[in-house]
Amino acid sequence: MPRFHRIILTGLLAVLCDGVEAFGVGAYGGMRVVNGDHHCSGRVEVNLHEKWGTICDRDWDLRAASVVCSELGCGFAESASRGAEFGPGSGMIALRSVHCKGHESRLIHCDAFINRNSFCTHQNDAGVKCSGTLMEPRLSVLSPHFVFSAGESVHFYCIIQPRDRISNVHLYKQGVDTPLVTQSADPTQIGVSLVLSDVETFQQGSYSCQYNIRGGFPPLPIRSPPSHPVNITVVDLLTPHHWYNTSSEAPAGSVIKGESFNITCSTSRQYPGASFQLRLVRSNGTVRQSLPAVSQSVTFTFPNAQSSNEGYYYCLYRVQLGGRTFVSRESQPLPIAIKDPDPLLSPMVISWLVSGVTFVIAVIIIFIVAKVVCNKEKKPSELERETRTCVDNTYVALSVNKL
């Protein structure tokens, strides 16, 4: 083959091979903009193999510029500058061609090709003008407290800038990728109300808001940085259970007057600083008493049951958090009647019965012993007549002589 043809073929092969060589993840060391009016505008430079280089403006457009602004966290692209608008660079021209669709989050995700020829010079360096870093919104709660009862609604307020370009405002919970509330923005207001309705305990935690702006090419929503977090607590008090204990001799639902009894209140969901309250409803009024809930259950002790302890007992659980007082529903009524002791089983009657039985048994034993002793005395002889009498349990024998 002639030498001239070999040179042309070699050049064509170099161009063709150059067109399919894209830079990989391992080669890419980041991106920056330099020589601009602020940190979000200037000549675009990329780091390949730990060396900074420029980008040729051969296929540079607003799609690629939008990806650059997104990667830099600088909002959306206002323009894709060409012809070394921000001055020519120095060193290598890293990329000869960049093809982006506009939705990529980083330039490395675009079809970018390493420069292997001298078609571009630094007079073709590409640059961008971005809208700038989006301002961080501010989130607050439209109430004087941050503790809520289950079933309540929490009203958040997100202050946003700039208002004229905002499309939507979102409320996010930490650890959840999708927004819990989304609200369209009104350009005439400085903030947007975000309402979290019917909150439950699993929704307590840290919240932040973010907004989207309209811009870029193609027009895609660009998200602002998140606001500083706001923490809320959701309290859901369960209805407590209660029961009573007393002596086994007492009928069901009753306590024997003068004896002791206990009432225990219990709940399976505990909060710090809580207390149990026991309420007695009786014919002449209501009596309340409380004990701190140091554990999931407490016991109210009544050492000497009296008529004043008779009535319906209710147990509830209460806690103070964040300047608010939360009270559970009352338990089902626990009726307790105070019974007088059974007269037939009173201690005095029982004592009398024991004494009487003891006396009768003692008399029977004495009688049996006396009878046995009398039967053992010897019989009288033919010449002797014997008379026997028993006086005070002593046998006296009288002998009568023959006349």
Q: Which residue has the tokens 């929503």?
A: 221
Q: Which amino acid is at 157?
A: Y
Q: Is 263 helix (H, G, I), strand (E, B) or coil?
A: strand
Q: Residue 93 is encoded by which pair of tokens?
A: 């021209």
Ranges assigned E (strand) in 160-283: 166-173, 181-184, 191-196, 205-215, 220-223, 230-235, 241-245, 254-256, 261-266, 275-282
pLDDT tens over the chain, length 403 residues = 444 344 333 333 333 334 334 555 567 888 999 999 888 999 999 998 889 999 999 889 999 998 998 888 888 888 999 999 999 998 899 998 899 988 888 888 898 887 666 578 999 999 999 988 778 899 999 999 999 999 999 999 999 876 667 778 999 999 999 999 999 887 777 889 999 999 999 999 999 999 887 766 566 667 788 999 999 999 999 999 999 999 988 999 999 999 999 999 999 989 999 999 999 999 889 999 999 999 999 999 999 999 999 999 999 999 999 999 999 999 999 999 999 886 655 566 667 778 888 888 888 888 887 777 776 655 555 444 444 444 444 444 444 444 4
Helices (H), 171-228: none
Spatial distance between the Cα atoms of 333 and 242, rounded to a whole number of angstroms: 9
CA 168 to each of CA 45, 78, 205: distance values in angstroms, whole numbers, following the listed order: 33, 20, 23
Q: Residue 285 is encoded by which pair of tokens?
A: 């009024």
Q: Which residues pair with 132 in a beta bridge?
A: none
Q: What are phi and psi of 36, to 5 degrees?
A: -105, 180
pLDDT in tens, 266-285: 999 899 999 999 999 998 89
Q: What are phi and psi of 163, to 5 degrees?
A: -75, -30
Contact 275, 289 (CB under 8 A): no
Spatial distance between the Cα atoms of 27 and 49, rounded to a whole number of angstroms: 5
Which one, of 161, 308, 271, 323, lies nearest residue 227 by Cα?
Answer: 161
Q: Distance from CA of residue 243 to its chain's centroid?
A: 29
Q: Which amino acid is at 101?
A: K
Spatial distance between the Cα atoms of 290 and 390, rounded to a whole number of angstroms: 75
Q: Please name the residues in contact with 294: beta carbons below 8 A apart, sequence gap of 6 or more.
A: none
Q: Residue 267 is encoded by which pair of tokens?
A: 């709940």
Spatial distance between the Cα atoms of 255 and 245, rounded to a whole number of angstroms: 9
pLDDT in tens, 165-216: 777 899 999 999 999 999 988 777 788 999 999 999 999 999 999 988 776 6
